[in-house]
Structure 1
Amino acid sequence: MEELKRVVSVPFKKTLSASLSEKDFEYSLAFDLKWFSPKIASKVREKALEEGLLSLKAGALVPCFNVESIRLPHAFKPSENFLENQKSSGGKTQVKEEISFEQVLEFISADSGINRQKLVSEINSMQDRLSYLVDIRIVALIVAKKFGCDIEAIFGKVARSVLSISF
């Protein structure tokens, strides 16, 4: 967890900011620091949210710890198997994956390039047509397909989260 805390603190230290958008946080890890691929940077964000190191407030990521108290070794870079180390600390007891509507929306917006307002409008419209009988995350995936978005990367996670099943 200590290495995760260090990794999470760097984008905030680098920008001298108390909050960052999810996109800016991931961009910093993937492109500014060149530590991870964009996909892994997204997983780091998810893990930090899951572990309570970050919280999402008004659409921005806010650290839940004092960033300034984190000391980084000179030329700090996370280990190669950084995420595997994080997973092993929790054991295999955590089976259920949760993915929020906000996370699904962010993924679709990033993948399709369509702004969030338009997506939310389309999702709400379809949700209304479906009489609110379908989970909003599933409706979001339907709208994503409508716009030609490749949902393969999050489909399984949404299905596991909504249906509580594994494939």
Structure 2
Amino acid sequence: MEELKRVVSVPFKKNLAVSLSVKDFEFSLAFDLKWFSPKIASKVKDRALEAGLLSLKAGVLVPGFDVESVRLPHAFKPAENFLEGQENSGKKPSSLKEEISFEKILEFISADTGVNRQRLVSEINSMQDRLSYLVDIRVVALIVAKKFGCDIEAIFGKVSMSVLGFSDYT
């Protein structure tokens, strides 16, 4: 997670910006810094959104942490396969099957409630902001789901396994 935070902070530091468009963020990683292909840069953005390191507000990416507090080692460059390390870091192999992404949660909530994804993301980002980004975005999504009357029983176990590392929530 620390390396992902470093990677996410660099485009904001390089551009002296408090927010960046998705296009500018991915362009910075892929072409300015030449760290990743455009496809991998997009995956970095997605992973950062899932982890709550970035949020999408009014169509722009905003870091969920103090970018200036992130210290980069001299000549920092992420490992080519650093995303693979992010997927497996701190996880037991058996728990990888239980992983559920923020996107899948959004799909579930939207299908169950009929609320469009844009409105859901807006509500989730607003609540994430009110909670000072201290709560995993997937948990915030479940809170918003309940607000819209969604029955979250079917995904609650997977989210708890992903976030907390266990599924027994009785």
Common fold: TM-score over 0.5: yes
Equivalent residue of 1:39, what SS? helix
Residue 47 of structure 1 aligns to a residue whose secondary structure is helix
1:71-110 CA-to-partner distances (Å, cap 9, x unmatched) read 111110001220000000253154333438xxxxxxxxxx
Residue 71 of structure 1 aligns to which amino acid in structure 2? R
* Matched length: 106
Compared CA separation, residues 26 and 135, structure 1 to 2 (3 A): same
Structure 1 segment 45-124 matched on structure 2, within 5 A: 45-89=45-89, 91=91, 92-99=96-103
Gaps of 5+ in 2: 105-113, 118-154, 156-170
From the superposition, tell whether residues 96 and 23 of structure 1 become closer, same or farther in structure 2 (CA, over 3 Å).
same
- SS at structure 2 position matched to 1:99: helix
- Unpaired runs of 5+ residues, structure 1, are 101-133, 138-163
- Runs of 4+ off more than 4 Å: 134-137
Q: Residue 96 of structure 1 aligns to which amino acid in structure 2?
A: I
Give the secondary structure class of the aligned counterpart of 2:77.
Answer: coil
Alpha-carbon spacing, 1:57–1:89, altered in 2? closer, same or farther (3 Å): same
Cα distance in 2 for partners of 1:68, 1:55 equals: 17
Alpha-carbon distance between aligned partners in 1 of 2:103 and 2:72, rounded to the nearest angstrom: 31
Give CA deviations for 1:43-83 in whole Å, capped at 9, x if unaligned.
Answer: 00000000010011101000010000011111100012200
Distance 1:64 1:82, change over 3 A: same
Instruction: Give the residue type in structure 1 aligned to 2:49.
Output: L
Instruction: Tell me which residue corresponds to 1:38.
Output: 38
Cα RMSD (Å) of the superposition? 2.3
The equivalent residue for 1:14 is: 14
Q: Deviations over 1:133-155 (max 9, x none)?
A: x9978xxxxxxxxxxxxxxxxxx
Please report the TM-score for the alignment, with normalisation by the length of structure 2.
0.57
SS at match of 1:18: coil
How has the CA–CA distance of structure 1 residues 50 and 90 changed in structure 2, closer, same or farther, with 3 Å as cutoff? Answer: farther
Tell me the TM-score normalised to structure 1 length: 0.58
Give SS of 2:89's match.
Answer: helix
C-alpha separation in 1, matches of 2:38 and 2:9: 18
